[in-house]
Structure 1
Amino acid sequence: MKRPYVVMKFPANFPGVMHTHTHGYHGMVVTGASKHYVAGESEAEVPLQNPGDYWYQPGGKLHNYSFPTDEPTVLFIQWEGPMDFFPHPQK
């Protein structure tokens, strides 16, 4: 099966929103910087990810990524199934 992928560009200082996806994905920072964290972690406690940094996000797990720098960020995401996005309300 061919795995779908997407290249996403986010603006500088974009806070993101907690969300889930049905399927897992592999992510990598192409340019800029981001923070990727799951429910129960805070943005402050996770390291800044720079170009070339990779992470895996399991499907169905609540997570966020933010972009706390003064430059836009480009991510490469390869999905394990069809792409979807389910935002979760902030508390």
Structure 2
Amino acid sequence: MTPDDDASWRAARRRVARELHPDLGGDVDAYLAALAEVDAAHGRRPDGSPAAPPVTVLVSRRRKALRVVLRGARDASRVVRRHLPPGAPGARRYSDL
């Protein structure tokens, strides 16, 4: 994005806001639709950041194995805490009814 593109995008959004903003008596749906058209025309997402191609996240076997190990460690710490005396640091401070 060049500064000129950024400035023209902002100017187009301001123009739409002056004409259709709900605080100035415009319709909410028409205002949002017009902003979406401006964003699409300038290759922007609704949050104003430049449009990016969709990203596919692949989870590797190593990451899956790490998740399994971490889940097991978390579960083990819960078991240990459940069996600690109430006054011990890290013990559960409540009881099941």
TM range (shorter): under 0.3
**Which of the pair is proportionally richer in helix?**
2
Which TM-score applies when normalising by structure 2?
0.18
Q: Which of the pair has the greater relative contact order for Cα pairs under 8 Å at 6+ separation?
A: 1
Considering only CA atoms, is the larger Rg found in Structure 1 or Structure 2?
2
User: Which has the larger share of strand?
Assistant: 1
